[in-house]
Chain A
Amino acid sequence: MKYILAALAIGVLAGYVNNNFGFPSLNTFISDYAFNLSLIALLFFMGLLFGADKEALAKLRKTGFKILAFPSAIALGSITGGLVGGILLGTNVFASMGVCAGYGWYTLTGPLAGQLFGLEWGAIGFTVNFLREITTIVTISVARKIDKYAPVAMGGATAMDTTLPVIVRYCGQDTLITAFSSGFTLTMIAPFAITTIAALAH
């Protein structure tokens, strides 16, 4: 865990330093190539381990379609969090529900919320969802003690890519398909959820 935190911290620092004093081409290399290649390699290895694990497949077969209960619960939970938060803060509840319906997909929610609810909400949409991803990674060793699937809930849409390797590593091989399918479903729902909430506001 401490290596993951160190890698994240050094990455942020290196990115900041390089952006201000370094080579812009290094940005593309790391943000595009290193990121995508390591993600693809990890997904392949995670799949390999899952396919070779007899118990993991048996567990999935037992779960079946019940697996969709997770993304539904996460979608509802996130929007409820937005509603309660909006009421507590005395702000636009549709906007607060909208940004929470990004489920961690910050590159979508930032621009979309900015367009639908105004610039300030764009920034909030970006940061809430970006921090959702970081929080999932940083708190995983504590979160998995609350519930084996708590990190899947926290990761939201990111459970299909960036947080998936960390979730599988800390919560077990058998969480792979649950986490991936949950993240996948939430990724598909997010654009519709945000625009529907915006439509309800008008």
Chain B
Amino acid sequence: MPNILDIAKLVLPLVAGIIMGYLLREKKSLNLGKITSGIILVLIFSLGFTMGSNGELLAVMPNVGVTTIVLLALALFFSILFVKAAKKLVRI
């Protein structure tokens, strides 16, 4: 099970943001494009850093190549296919 604190860490800022955004909606238009773009880059950089510093992960990569690529490609293909079908089915 995912840790309750990990979930709260994600849900709380999101909910706080939605409430604050809702309260501020009549105010001047919010321009956060540049700030969010900057933070996305920090996030992606730290994600890459975590992977690059994980020696075990880098070591196993070459040994499981073909199986990994086939399973990944098919899991992605069928996920997209089923989501497209679900959209039609429930008319989203």
Residues in chain A within 8 A of chain B (CB atoms): 3-4, 7-19, 27, 30-31, 34-36, 38-54, 57, 63, 66-67, 69-70, 72-74, 76-78, 80-82, 84-86, 88-89, 91, 96, 99-100, 120, 123-124, 126-128, 130-133, 135, 137, 143, 146-147, 149-150, 152-154, 156, 160-162, 165-166, 169, 180, 184, 187-188, 191
Contact code string B43-74 (vs A, CB < 8 Å = 1, else 0) = 11111111111110110110110111011111
Contact indicator A82/B39 (Cβ below 8 Å): no
Contact code string B77-91 (vs A, CB < 8 Å = 1, else 0) = 111111111110111
30 contacts between A and B (CB under 8 A): A10-B45, A11-B49, A12-B49, A15-B49, A15-B53, A15-B54, A35-B46, A41-B13, A42-B39, A43-B14, A43-B17, A47-B20, A50-B18, A66-B90, A74-B79, A76-B78, A77-B79, A77-B81, A84-B74, A89-B71, A96-B71, A123-B60, A132-B76, A153-B83, A154-B76, A165-B40, A169-B36, A184-B7, A187-B2, A191-B2
Classify the interface of chain A: helix, strand, loop or mixed: helix
